[in-house]
A and B are shown apart, each in its own frame.
Chain A
Amino acid sequence: MTKHLRSISELNAEGLRSLLDLTDHMAEINRRPIPKVPALRGKTVVSLFYEDSTRTRLSFETAAKRLSADTMTFSVSTSSANKGESLRDTVETIEAMGIDAVIVRHKSAGVPWRLSDWLDASVINAGDGWHEHPTQAILDAYTIRNEAKKPFEELHVAIVGDVKHSRVARSNVAAFTMLGARVTLVAPPTLLPPSLVGWPVQVSHNLDDVVGTVDVAYCLRMQLERQEQSLVPSLREYTQLYGLTSHRADRLAEGAIIMHPGPMNRGVEIDPEVADRPNSVIAAQVTNGVSVRMAVLYWLLGSGTTLGGSDV
């Protein structure tokens, strides 16, 4: 069993499937009148967010509390990091208080790896730069498993948008293909990674060609500053070519679902009306986030010997 969750590549297909099964148990807890169990009583979990986040931070903290872990929140604006303290000094100071896991988000890729070099605690990556966001990918896989009408091995997933700068896309490609899905990246060449050597994906520059063939249309958030960097001529043109417009959403196959990691730019990568359609599972993604993060925390910090055992 691994100690950290820094990357989807730290899991194998069997481990990922058992994590999804464990998430089912956690979802059951979350449906109880009092959604709280003592599984991680006495464990201390720190969330270390060097970058703004609403849903991921709250989702992790809710997950930790429902498992009865003690939580500490480090927010950069009120910390010594503002006084020039180094990352290493900050995390070693926090660890000296006695902690079991660090949930870290940072704008620089690779920070979770450096932390795990310095700390004994488990390190959970809550997003590192453009690199990975593994719990997002697990909750997306869980959502697909619940909502799609076919098993993973028969699914075609289109990930549409700014793959180049997306940690969600990197983790999702790894997780979805590990579970057997076929993945197509749909983006202009300027928003794809410079090299796709070793990526088990297909690529398309034409969403209209792809949209009728997919079981999952996964829209990525389009950062507004990309047009200033001339990666696209304008957001308007981006929407015309790569937005999930009403017209394109109408062409989705029967049973196909619409996903987005949030926060959405309604009217840019997704039409406002499309996001609220019955086949949109965007709200379910958020709900499942808590259950998935409970599963991850329990898996890394719990006894772990019997997944979904008597204390859960």
Chain B
Amino acid sequence: MSETLIVKGGRVVDQSGSRLADVAIEDGRIVGVGADLSGGRILDAAGCVVSAGLVDLHVHLREPGKEEAETIETGSRSAALGGFTAIVAMPNTTPAIDSAAVVREVQELGRAANLVDVYVAGAITVGRKGTHLAPMGEMAALGVRFFTDDGNGVQDGRLMRRAMEYAVGLGVTLAQHCEDDAICGGGVMHEGEWSSRLGLPGQPSETEELMVMRDIILARLTGATVHFQHLSTRRSLDYIRQARAEGLPVSAEATPHHFTLTHAACAGYDTVFKVNPPLRTDDDVAAVRVALGDGSVDCIATDHAPHTSTDKELPFDQAPPGMIGLETALALALTELHLPIEKVLSLMSWQPARLARAIDAHGGVLRAGRPANLCVIDPLATWTVDASAMASKSRNSPFVGRSLRGRVRHTVFNGVAVVQDGEATR
């Protein structure tokens, strides 16, 4: 039997509410939540919020295939430092996660890193090429519950319909990166005032909205559970509201960069601001913030997308899209959204835990018997983002130099403090 760990002096916030309490942990599980617990090693939580661990539905770990940008281990450590205890790994690796063999490899590497639970998202189509269905059944048999061709939207409406019908039979969720290639024509940023001025090909908001509409229609047709990834436009969010009002089983996520940055950031051609879907207008940013507050969007997901400096030093139109986000997401939400911390944690912990089908181990209510996956947040700590201090292998954060409020003090994964006083312990 391992020693008892007491998370002491904090305010416990979970799906059931908020109370001042200590949390006692033994053998990877919570054994008690209450006042004045003692008799073990103390993890100081004075002045802090003790929450169920954060869950990120959208992370690019780059392994296998692009280990110079990130590995499952470095990405997991970055996640733990950001307060996450579970992440969903996107399948746009090389090879793509489109078979049981690659699913197993990623699961094993996630277990070996042993810093967070790495849930695997499988590809909808073979090689993410959008032409043939991937063997979703053999991947589902290994526990995969989330399928997406993220990075690409499935362009062929008939194939997407078949994927949805098939997914219903497996009881899995399809997640879509909404981008209609025929409309966008190679756009590298939001189409509008700034793309026109900068002489860069743009992708209009309608590129995203067209696929959101199509997939809502297909969800109605098939009854499939559909998750909409990284929504970025006002009208996309309106379509989601309408679909929800109709009772369709749809969910949606939004990223920290889409509630904080606009296309004006691209003015100096700094590729750190190149991302897909692109940074959009002030009006879209405002709409994303409203949707996070009113529940139209279920969760915040980072779309953590590491890239090497060599790749990001390509010209703007050639550089790969994406930005890292695991270590800044919580602080950005706490600093920028002006929502109560309970609401932010709902968006970052129990809601995504439910969508990831990870509620046996993550999110939920902190009570005796539950796996001890939690994070301890100092909501008043202020700090300045420094990419060189991050655990991610890559440095492509658009938030470098920004002053943020709210910081992860400890992260407990399966009963072990993998982050203690802001430092990774393994």
Contact = CB atoms under 8 A, between A and B. Distances in A.
B241 to A, nearest CB: 27
B196 A109 contact: no
B192 A198 contact: no
A132 B199 contact: yes
Interface string A191-213: 00111111100000000000000
B40 interface: no
Nearest to B197: A198
B202 interface: yes
B191 A194 contact: yes
Contacts of A88: 313
B268 A113 contact: yes
A88 B317 CA distance: 16
Contact of B313 (A86, A167, A170): A86
A240 interface: no
A108 B198 CA distance: 11
Contacts of A130: 199-200
A113 B317 CA distance: 13
A114 B200 contact: no
A129 interface: yes
Interface string A170-205: 100000000000000000000001111111000000
B399 interface: no
B202 A194 contact: yes
Contacts of B46: none
B313 A106 contact: no
A87 interface: yes
Contacts of B313: 86-88, 114
A128 interface: yes
A130 B193 CA distance: 15
Contacts, number: 66
A108 B196 contact: no
A302 interface: no
A194 B192 contact: yes
B321 to A, nearest CB: 15
A106 B196 CA distance: 18
Interface residues of A, number: 24
A308 interface: no
A197 B199 contact: no
Interface residues of B, number: 20
Nearest to B185: A229
A230 to B, nearest CB: 11
A167 B198 CA distance: 10
A82 to B, nearest CB: 16
A207 to B, nearest CB: 22
Contacts of A197: 192-193, 196
Contacts of B204: 194
Interface string B312-352: 01111110000000000000000000000000000000000
Nearest to A110: B269
Nearest to B271: A114
B315 A194 contact: no
Contacts of B200: 109-110, 129-131
B195 A108 contact: no
B317 A195 contact: no
B16 interface: no
Interface in B84-134: none
B310 interface: yes
B207 to A, nearest CB: 12
A109 B310 contact: no
A48 to B, nearest CB: 13
Nearest to B316: A110
A36 to B, nearest CB: 36
A198 B198 contact: no
Contacts of A106: 315
B193 A108 contact: no
A49 to B, nearest CB: 15
A111 interface: yes
Given A87-B314, A109-B317, A129-B317, A194 B268 contact: no
A129 B199 contact: yes
Contact of B193 (A87, A167, A198): A198
26 contacts: A86-B310, A86-B313, A87-B314, A88-B313, A106-B315, A108-B315, A108-B316, A108-B317, A109-B199, A109-B200, A109-B269, A110-B198, A110-B200, A114-B315, A130-B199, A131-B199, A167-B199, A170-B197, A193-B195, A193-B197, A194-B191, A194-B204, A195-B193, A197-B192, A197-B196, A198-B197
Given A87-B313, A114-B313, A194-B202, 11 more contacts: A86-B314, A106-B315, A109-B317, A110-B315, A129-B200, A131-B199, A167-B199, A194-B192, A195-B195, A197-B193, A198-B197
Interface of A: 86-88, 106, 108-111, 113-114, 128-132, 167, 170, 193-199
